[in-house]
Amino acid sequence: MSKDFRATNYKLQSIKTGKVFNDEGWLLDAPGETEPTLIRALYEKTQIDVKDNSWGLYKFADWLPIGRTLKGSSAPVTYKSEGLAAELGLKNLWITFSGYWPEKGACMKTGSFKETEAYSVCGRMTAEMNKVLVVASAGNTARAFAQVCSDNKIPLLLCVPEDNISALWFGAPLNDCVKLICSKTGSDYFDAIHLSNIAAGLENFVAEGGAKNVARRDGMATTMLSATTTIGQIPDYYFQAVGSGTGAIAAWEANVRLIADGRFGSTKMKLMVSQNSPFTPIYDAWKAGSRAMLSLDDELARKQVEEIDAKVLSNRKPPYPIIGGLYDAMKDAGGDVLLATNQEAAEAAKLFEKTEGIDIHPAASVAVATLIAAAKNETINEEDLIMLNITGGGEEKFKSKNELFYLKPEIIFDIDPDSEEVIKQVSTLFE
């Protein structure tokens, strides 16, 4: 149920220069700056007042840059692990779960923490904007935005690789305000982004913005807020699998706010982010000590993406080098980039379900696999306070209880589409 809340309590700040300016509704780039830099929300309330669970995700509304709340949201749930912790010999392992697990109080119908992004971004997108939101995705983000936009009648154009559309399942038919276009078989997330950039250039369409959208990052940051306010202190380590790294950037930004809050300690939480081998662009750049992403042949990248099970981790151009991006976050907070193979992730998923009692997504399994390895090689100690961010789970539980409906594409475009043809065809979809 929607709550009466309007956030007028924040401004925006350039991470590069520190310049502060008002939010103009959908500002993605700091005005007057030519070098790519993220902007960050500055909230008037430096101590967060966490509301009760009836607010869903908006229990963290004090630190969300929203103009309205929307129906149907659920917040991440944090609990202290017993089963997996005992298996790994860890005394302070806390799991932040985003997905479908009603018994734990997690009711994200799409099974993914991408709902935290969608409810925040769409809450920022007030009715006065009157534009079609354009979102590129490898799967989970599309499913989350589709569900939220359908439930709240927000026009949405999704751009997804054709090979990934099996991820677009739902528990009920969607409102026709949601449309899907695809880059054809053999394409990847980067190709879907290219397609979305063309579509977003149309009049009355607006790009969601990805990592540059403060609402996306602060929505994802609710995982960190959930963990810290539940535990009562900032964790020592943060484990999450990454494709873009936006979730880890968001956790770092939340960490900064929580230190300023003054009630949760002054720890800079080490970011232990992971990728699914053999697709490892963030790992390669980090291990090379490079802010810039290393060169990667397009065809080789697509081949590597085909090989990984965690398709959602397939971003070829993540917000790693941008000022305020993942490179800066990890340099400031500390941590490392870790790897897991498909087999290691699959074994980790089985262990998690056995010890914790719920199925998890392939990306979350990658994070669990690297946590297992870190415990075995003593990168982490048994007393360390660890947050394991389970970014998706309960999908099999949801599917076992519901009839499924799949979103079908309106148009399928070539991997390198003709821009004029895209504009011509997409412009008619919302007439």
Kindly state the average pLDDT of the residues 104-130. Answer: 93
Report pLDDT for 395: 97
* DSSP letters for 120-174: HHHHHS-GGG--EEEEE-SSHHHHHHHHHHHHHT--EEEEEEGGGGGG-EESSPP
Report pLDDT for 34: 86
Whole-Å CA distances, 102 to 21, 57, 138? 41, 15, 26
Kindly state the average pLDDT of the residues 183-199. Answer: 94
* DSSP letters for 223-291: HHHHHHHHHSS--SEEEEE-SS-HHHHHHHHHHHHHHHHSSS-----EEEEEEETT--HHHHHHHTT-S
Residues in the chain: 431
Return the percentage of the chain with pLDDT > 70, whole number.
98
302 membership: H or E segment, kind and range: helix 298-307
Mind listing the pLDDT tens digit for each residue in 272-321? 999 999 999 999 999 999 999 999 999 999 999 999 999 999 999 999 99
**Per-residue pLDDT at 2 exceeds 50:** no
- Average pLDDT, rounded, for the chain: 95
Kindly state the average pLDDT of the residues 45-58. Answer: 96
Mind listing the pLDDT tens digit for each residue in 328-379? 999 999 999 999 999 999 999 999 999 999 999 999 999 999 999 999 999 9
**Cα–Cα distance, 121 to 144 (Å, whole number):** 11
Report pLDDT for 1: 37
Kindly state the average pLDDT of the residues 213-234. Answer: 98
How many CA atoms within 13 Å lie on the side-chain side of 404?
16
Q: Could you give all domains of the chain from N- to C-terminal order, each with its CATH number? A: 77-108+215-398 (3.40.50.1100)
Contact 108, 74 (CB under 8 A): yes
Report pLDDT for 6: 55
Nearest to 240 by CA among 230, 229, 254: 254
Contact 351, 87 (CB under 8 A): yes
Report pLDDT for 23: 84
**Cα–Cα distance, 411 to 81 (Å, whole number):** 45
Higher-confidence residue: 300 or 128? 300
Type of residue numbered 332: D
Type of residue numbered 402: N
φ, ψ dihedrals at 421, nearest 5°: -70, -40
Please tell me what DSSP assigns to residue 298.
H
Mind listing the pLDDT tens digit for each residue in 384-408? 999 999 999 999 999 999 999 999 9
86 membership: H or E segment, kind and range: helix 83-88
φ, ψ dihedrals at 336, nearest 5°: -160, 165
Kindly state the average pLDDT of the residues 95-99. Answer: 98
β-strands 100-101, 106-107: how paired? antiparallel
Name the pTM for this structure. Answer: 0.95
Dmax of the chain from CA atoms? 59
Q: Which residues contact 401 (CB under 8 A, 6 or more apart)?
A: none
Mind listing the pLDDT tens digit for each residue in 258-270? 999 999 999 999 9
